[in-house]
Structure 1
Amino acid sequence: MFSTNRIANTWLCVVLLVGAVILRGLFVASYRLMFHPLSKYPGPWLAKISDGYSAWYSIKVDLHLRIEEAHAKYGPMVRIGPNKLIVNSATALQEIYRKDDVRKAQNYEAMLSIPGVFNTHTCIDKTLHRRKRKVVNQAFSDSSIRAFEPTMIKNIDIFIDQLVRHCQCHQNLDEWSEPLDMSTVTQRLALDVMGEFGFGRTFDMQTSDTNRFLIDAIRATSRVVGLFYQYPRLKKLGVEEWLKTGIWTRSKFGELVKGMVQKRLSEEADASHDLFSFIINAKDPETGQGFTLEELWCESRLFIIAGSDTSSTAMAAAFFYLSRNPECKKKLHTLIRETFSNAEEIRTGPKLASCGYLRACIDEAMRMSPPITGALLREVVSEGGMVIDGEHVSAGVNVGTSLYSIHHNNSVFDNPWKYDPNRWMGLESESEAFVNRQRMQRLAFNPFSLGSRTCVAQTMAYAEITITLAKILWYFDFRIPGGPLGQIGAGGEGDRTGRHRTQEFQLREHLTSHHEGPYLEFSLRSRDSVMSQ
């Protein structure tokens, strides 16, 4: 009898517990669907109820495609989470990322690798961000970038030398090389540059296999961080302990960075012209605070991931679009080879700055395939809320603009799915409509974010991308190989997931982006041109 009552009581507790969970779920869902401040905005119904929607598509690496799909279906304002409003307009972009009515969303706290230790990207508190940014800005000043440029060019020249050797494997220099995956080789270059800039030493990614696990480690780290950014509660529930995604490479990545930080700290601050030469002993003039060891590690980790991903994605995208738009490639070849008499001249300065069409081709590649495709969330903090595109948005709501969507907004960009560098060029017969269109395009173009949170390294990124592409165009011609390799990186005709555009370089989004291809074959321009160097 006692045993029977005990079993009955246990089942009663289970039923009550399950019932309570169901009732709570129904209550939360009802509130979010009918009474939440964002209840009037359209969007996928599951997204209105749970952040699981955006977390799931982050894992599937195509959240940016689902947001673009939602805009096409519902309009410029879509609800992509219980408390996330994504707005697709150039004016909203400026209002969200330039005004003081917002701050970074609490989601950024889920990105911390060490609890309570923020870097310049994850800082939510504006005062703390200003302190960190004031120090880091010194490392990325124009004079600092000029001083670092010879080291950057040294690594770019290794990249060029390896391509030359790759071509010279063939008896005749006019033959085409074996296909190369440009995503892989540009990632190796970008990581070597960031190693030199961050720690005064290269990772030797281009010349050794030892640290090439970094590419997989960064991809695994970004995927996990992207998941928690979309659904912070998962991290609080300890889901990270269950995730097996790249756990070995992520751990090895952390050990490598910590080791390089400790080695650099054992040297004099001015031992190398690198990031640490500025921040090791830097003090905030107002507070007297410097960077702790944990902060130095987190900043280093940030610059390795963000710095290498941005420039490698931009370079791979540029190679993709130029290889599929031969008229653009031909125009660039002519421009570079007429502007520079030899490859040694290719460096930042008036000559390179005069190559406006080169910059237009790079910007158009980043418009089509932005290194960060998603929405960088901001929390409305003004007590009375704020107005975005004429709509009042309550305090506490997270807002943002998807960079992929705004870069393909057809009210801003004519024929937005076409690669057209001329859209960034001034024309002699500029009508008022053309001038207004270009102004709106510039307002919407946002590969490095805006306002006080704009990417601190964008000047260095542009220098690396521009010099690399210019040197490639001076030395080589390149083309798409035949067969399946030539299709890697492109969309597939008939695809129903949003990857159906065959002339679009496909990105896999998990906060930053990863990608494959394009595979390209290279040919040296001529023996005399190469030997003269």
Structure 2
Amino acid sequence: MASSVASALHRIKRKLIGRAVTDQEMRAFEPVMIEQVGILLRKFFQASSVRSVTEEVNMTPNLKHLSYDIVGYLAFGYPLKLQDDESSHFIIDELLWQLSPEYFFLDLFPNSQRVQLFNLIETMIKACLAQDKDAKRQLFYAADDFKGVQGLRLGNIWSEAIFFLPAEVNTTSTALASVFYLWLNLACYMKLADEVRNAFKSNAEIRSSPQLAGTLWRQLVRDQSNPDPWIIDRCVVPTGTEVAVNIYTLHHNEEYFPDPFSFKPERWLDFIDGEDEGEFRNGATHDAFVSTGSRGCAGKPMAYLESSLVIARTLWYFDFEATPGKSGKAGSGRKVDRYGRGTESEFQL
């Protein structure tokens, strides 16, 4: 019973999110995304014109601010303006607290920024729900089921908003931040830069045409028609146990990704130099990487579009290189362990 209720709830939530992030909706939303990417590029232009080559630009916060601004428009049609207004940066830390175990205790003693965040989310939701259904394309604009809910902060739309904002931001911004370590692999960097600069005649032509590093837990359930216990790696696992395969370990399994600690972007190509040699054509590699099925990532179209626009437009305008010292290294600087963590050339989380 609990499983069927959870499945039904998941279908409803997925339908709510999925209708706003389809390929068709992303094409309609693309001008807004391009505008926000343009703000990021102008910040880079400004930084490169006033800073000496010995100073650094921290890409991670800049990319987070971009992603939050994009999601704010996509979900609510609301300008968060993290790229323009430093006073809004508290949103990032406070939203992360909402997803932490400590939240349930800390919320009993709300600080001024937490109150400010809650007021902001309430403003966004109310403004979105008040709009005409046909006027906007935001994620929550057609949430009729939520309009009559008494006590907005106790309703489903509140919890969905709290979760959706950081969930959609952290995956994409992390993937983008890792791209700026391409300087460690100059051959890959030059090949990508040449491809972008030769494929388009101007920045305006660059339009549409990963990922999660954690563990996606699933609960083992059995019905009366199949009461046998779960056996995983010769171990009996009781029904109701939550199990998962960590994505990092899956993506470093040589059975699916040969030479997994080497940076080989070409592994994702179907053909390499005209030959059918791309690892991604291997069914096992494809299945181990691609998020599919009812539990697949509903936000993939948005993530792919944002990543493509940022990478291509940045490489169109800029050459970039690492800053000297520790901050310019992708690795953690610690001794490489037996699992490969700490590898100098691998972006560390």
Normalization by structure 2: what TM-score?
0.85
Per-residue CA deviation, residues 89-118 of structure 1 (Å, 9 max, x unaligned), is xxxxxxxxxxxxx96xxxxxxxxxxxxxxx
- Partner of 1:319 in structure 2? 180
Q: State the Cα RMSD in Å.
A: 3.1
1:386, distance to aligned residue in structure 2 (A): 4.7
Q: Which has the higher contact order (CA 8 A, sep 6+)?
A: 1
Q: Distance in 2 between matches of 1:180 and 1:395?
A: 50
In 2 relative to 1, CA 193–272 (structure 1 residues): closer, same or farther, beyond 3 Å? same
- Partner of 1:466 in structure 2? 308
In 2 relative to 1, CA 404–131 (structure 1 residues): closer, same or farther, beyond 3 Å? same
The answer to whether residue 166 in structure 2 is matched with residue 305 in structure 1 is yes
User: 1:172-211 maps to which residues of 2 (within 5 A)?
Assistant: 176=53, 178-211=55-88
The answer to whether residue 127 in structure 2 is matched with residue 267 in structure 1 is no
- Partner of 2:190 in structure 1? 330
- Which structure's residues are more often strand, by fraction? 1
Q: Distance in 2 between matches of 1:243 and 1:275?
A: 27
- Partner of 2:200 in structure 1? 340
Q: Distance in 2 between matches of 1:389 and 1:499?
A: 24
Q: Would the aligned equivalents of 1:217 and 1:246 in 2 still touch at CA under 8 Å?
A: no
1:373, distance to aligned residue in structure 2 (A): 2.0
Q: Distance in 2 between matches of 1:386 and 1:242?
A: 38
Q: Distance in 2 between matches of 1:200 and 1:481?
A: 37
Note the residue ranges of structure 1 that are not aligned, 5 or more in a row: 1-101, 104-122, 228-238, 284-288, 350-365, 508-533
- Partner of 1:423 in structure 2? 267
User: 1:366-385 maps to which residues of 2 (within 5 A)?
Assistant: 366=210, 370-383=211-224, 384=227, 385=229
- Partner of 2:327 in structure 1? 485
In 2 relative to 1, CA 491–345 (structure 1 residues): closer, same or farther, beyond 3 Å? same
Q: Distance in 2 between matches of 1:128 and 1:259?
A: 26
In 2 relative to 1, CA 132–221 (structure 1 residues): closer, same or farther, beyond 3 Å? closer
User: 1:356-395 maps to which residues of 2 (within 5 A)?
Assistant: 366=210, 370-383=211-224, 384=227, 385-386=229-230, 393-395=237-239
Q: Distance in 1 between matches of 2:219 and 2:292?
A: 12
Which residue, out of 492, 496, 504, partners 2:346? 504
Per-residue CA deviation, residues 122-178 of structure 1 (Å, 9 max, x unaligned), is x971112223323332222222111111111110111111111222226xxxx7483
In 2 relative to 1, CA 337–250 (structure 1 residues): closer, same or farther, beyond 3 Å? same
- Partner of 1:77 in structure 2? none
Q: Distance in 2 between matches of 1:505 and 1:430?
A: 29
- Partner of 1:137 in structure 2? 18
- Partner of 1:443 in structure 2? 287
State the AA in 2 paired with 1:143: Q
Question: 3-state SS of the aligned residue for 1:479?
Answer: coil
1:501, distance to aligned residue in structure 2 (A): 1.4
Note the residue ranges of structure 2 that are not aligned, 5 or more in a row: none
In 2 relative to 1, CA 245–325 (structure 1 residues): closer, same or farther, beyond 3 Å? farther
- Partner of 1:221 in structure 2? 98
In 2 relative to 1, CA 252–418 (structure 1 residues): closer, same or farther, beyond 3 Å? farther
Normalization by structure 1: what TM-score?
0.58
- Partner of 2:252 in structure 1? 408
Which residue, out of 137, 150, 169, partners 2:50? 169
In 2 relative to 1, CA 246–450 (structure 1 residues): closer, same or farther, beyond 3 Å? farther
In 2 relative to 1, CA 132–373 (structure 1 residues): closer, same or farther, beyond 3 Å? closer
Question: 3-state SS of the aligned residue for 1:491?
Answer: coil
- Partner of 1:41 in structure 2? none
State the AA in 2 paired with 1:253: L
1:296, distance to aligned residue in structure 2 (A): 1.8
Q: Distance in 2 between matches of 1:315 and 1:141?
A: 21
Which residue, out of 251, 260, 280, partners 2:143? 280
In 2 relative to 1, CA 297–421 (structure 1 residues): closer, same or farther, beyond 3 Å? same
In 2 relative to 1, CA 438–266 (structure 1 residues): closer, same or farther, beyond 3 Å? same
Q: Would the aligned equivalents of 2:219 and 2:240 in 1 still touch at CA under 8 Å?
A: no
Q: Distance in 1 between matches of 2:348 and 2:193?
A: 25
1:305, distance to aligned residue in structure 2 (A): 1.1
Q: Distance in 2 between matches of 1:301 and 1:242?
A: 16
Question: 3-state SS of the aligned residue for 1:210?
Answer: helix
The answer to whether residue 24 in structure 2 is matched with residue 147 in structure 1 is no
State the AA in 2 paired with 1:207: D
Bigger radius of gyration: 1
Q: Distance in 1 between matches of 2:105 and 2:193?
A: 51
State the AA in 1 paired with 2:165: I
State the AA in 1 paired with 2:143: I
Q: Distance in 1 between matches of 2:246 and 2:259?
A: 19
